[in-house]
Structure 1
Amino acid sequence: MKFIQQAYKGENNWWAYLLTIFLLFFGWQLIGILPLVGVAFFYSEDVGEFSSAALDNFTTLGINSNLYLGLMIFTFFAGLVFLLLGIKTIHKRKIISVITTRKKIDWSRFFYAFTVWAIIGLATFFIDYFMSPNDYVFNFQPMQFFILLIISLLFLPLQTSMEEVLFRGYLMQGFGTWFKNSFVALLITSVIFGLLHGANPEVEKLGWIVMIYYIGTGFLLGIFTLMDEGIELSLGFHAANNIIAAVLVTSKWAAFQTEALFLDIAEPNIDFEFFLPFIVFYPFVIFVFSKKYGWTNWKEKLFGTVRKPIVLNEDEFIA
């Protein structure tokens, strides 16, 4: 429960959250998007083309997919900067308080989660590839791929970090202190996380049942956060997930349309494979992490009441 309680270390009134969310969207959707708007306007032949397609379809304007990916990542980076600025100046809290209860960020947790999920992602893809080779086309273009690899490894974690700091850190703590219950915070942040992915092309192609994946993944990452008292594991997991998605396989209907190694040409559908993460992989990862980090007191951490702690000083409080 200590992770959620860290919201009490600074300004925790509703207006502080409202101003910070406004600041986040200002940085993300106005400041951060300016380079993308500029490039889209440069590539568009007329204003009509620019207004209708420039910001959501790089192929229509002939923008290089790596450039488009980099510009999209920059919007999230700008959002992250403005979010942290709001936490620091409006809430008057230390940045680390929305990341972990530990005295410093435990990067070993980040890399452990990254490695575990990357191995699972790679293994499941290649198993599927060897079982259904006709569903994929090898798409290796050396120069474009290595540029994509550099962008993905160095900068994609900025995109996933913005989402994790916002949902599993900032909003998890905010909703937890407002509703005084950790599970309510977990549920609300997972649903909002899923709904914000509702505009992804996968949803249009496969239907709203895909929201099960986004909400379920948000729920998983929230469990990591509550049980581990920090977002390091969710940061690593999310980064691995998106890097694998960008670098390994792409399709004409996916959110990440990149110069990946493989092109998925199979007609998308909802089958047993879609539910496999929820049935097998997610429970397995929870089990591995729980054993690795000795998670205990599950009921209290996932369903417990959030109480305002007794603050002793800036860095010490009684839960």
Structure 2
Amino acid sequence: MNYIQQAYKGHPDFWRYIIGSVIAIIGVGIFSMPHMIAIFAKKMNGEVDLAQLSDINYLLTLFESNENLVYLLLPFAGGLLFLLLAVKFLHKQSFVSLTTARQKIDWKRVFSMFFVWGILSSSLVLVDYYMAPEGYQWNFQPQKFAILAVIAIILVPLQTSFEEYAFRGYLMQGLGVLAKNRWVPLVLTSVCFGLLHISNPEIEKLGYILLVYYIGTGFFLAIMTLMDEGLELALGFHAANNLFTALLVTADWTAFQTYSIFKDVSEPEAAGFFDIFLPVFIIFPIILLVLGKIYGWKNWKDKLFGPIVEPPKEDYKVLD
């Protein structure tokens, strides 16, 4: 059974996916309450301009950076928890079958991709720093950085795991079973993942062209998941991408405003080929080709665009 077919090990009725998505959103809302309570407390002290609460850049200035990061990431932890509860109790599907088509989760894949991409992405930042040091400012504050590291190491993987399990896991399987093919979930989850970032402050500064990067990253992770028959590589990549970014470099116009080692003080309008097109059209395809060689990926056309058929009943058992 391939990765999308793992949905048949539970109850794959599409109405359950609709309810499960609502449950996950409820989890996001519940875990957003500490932030709302903190904002309300500031409002009672007259420290909040209600007219600006819809401006994410304003919200990011209400609290100290590490506190802001906790408030930013907690809702994703809630979404992940409630999503997994929906999978277990609503779909009667196991955590393993939501994660991979293998008999058990391959943690070696997760951590290998985490460290490889963490080192590579950090190296790209350092290369840019040495090529254009005027665009960076030393931002390291040991005590605040240590607190940041604890927060980020705990919460960033929960944030990225929620996005992976929601898009490349839950919706990928649900849409695949509904559409009876692979290309519909490949396209829809990738585009929706990219558009989910449309309210990020980076979009305001860099323009909608940045959606090329977000949607392109969605396609990259979706292709990786379908070709490898599991989420492990995508989980490792996404966690490394966000964690190392949070620790290494920040800017006044990003969603992750942290006590990182460096601060990007260059003109954001200058972003172009290096920041958007190089990763999507050169680096990501190279990574996919290398991974294909390492893991022996074959039948690319069928795995990305082929049909999804319900396997014989004897191949799986639904737990009631």
TM more than 0.5: yes
Partner of residue 301, structure 1: 303
Alignment check: 8 A CA contact 2:100 2:231 kept: yes
Instruction: Find the aligned partners of 1:206 and 1:271 in 2 and give their Cα distance.
Output: 9
3-state secondary structure, aligned to 2:49: helix
Q: What whole-Å deviation, never above 9, does each CA across 1:208-229 have from its counterpart, x for those lacking one?
A: 1111100000100001100111
Instruction: Find the aligned partners of 2:41 and 2:243 in 1 and give their Cα distance.
Output: 28
Partner of residue 127, structure 2: 127
3-state secondary structure, aligned to 1:114: helix
How does 1:1-319 map onto structure 2 within 5 Å? 2-28=2-28, 30-44=29-43, 45-46=45-46, 49=49, 52-53=52-53, 56=56, 57-61=58-62, 63-269=63-269, 270-273=271-274, 274-312=276-314, 314=316
Q: What whole-Å deviation, never above 9, does each CA across 1:53-81 have from its counterpart, x for those lacking one?
A: 399445532x1211221222211111111
Q: 1:239 to 1:143 in 2, by over 3 A?
A: same
3-state secondary structure, aligned to 1:137: strand
Instruction: Find the aligned partners of 1:122 and 1:295 in 2 and give their Cα distance.
Output: 27
Alignment check: 8 A CA contact 2:8 2:316 kept: no
Report the count of equivalent residues: 314
Alignment check: 8 A CA contact 2:42 2:48 kept: no
**One-letter amino acid of the structure 1 residue matched with residue 311 of structure 2:** P
Instruction: Find the aligned partners of 2:291 and 2:156 in 1 and give their Cα distance.
Output: 23
Deviates more, 1:160-169 or 1:278-287: 278-287
Normalised by the length of structure 1, the TM-score is 0.93
Alignment check: 8 A CA contact 2:113 2:233 kept: yes
3-state secondary structure, aligned to 2:194: helix
Instruction: Tell me how large the CA RMSD over aligned residues is.
Output: 1.8
Q: What whole-Å deviation, never above 9, does each CA across 1:276-295 have from its counterpart, x for those lacking one?
A: 11232112211221122111
Alignment check: 8 A CA contact 1:5 1:309 kept: yes
Instruction: Find the aligned partners of 1:157 and 1:51 in 2 and give their Cα distance.
Output: 33
**Paired-residue identity, %:** 47
Instruction: Find the aligned partners of 1:215 and 1:64 in 2 and give their Cα distance.
Output: 31
CA shift at 1:34, angstroms?
0.9
Instruction: Find the aligned partners of 2:273 and 2:227 in 1 and give their Cα distance.
Output: 29
**One-letter amino acid of the structure 1 residue matched with residue 287 of structure 2:** V
3-state secondary structure, aligned to 2:123: helix
Q: 1:293 to 1:35 in 2, by over 3 A?
A: same
Alignment check: 8 A CA contact 2:88 2:95 kept: yes
Instruction: Find the aligned partners of 1:35 and 1:55 in 2 and give their Cα distance.
Output: 19
Alignment check: 8 A CA contact 2:114 2:239 kept: yes
CA shift at 1:314, angstroms?
4.1
Q: What whole-Å deviation, never above 9, does each CA across 1:77-122 have from its counterpart, x for those lacking one?
A: 1111111111111111112211111122111000111112112111
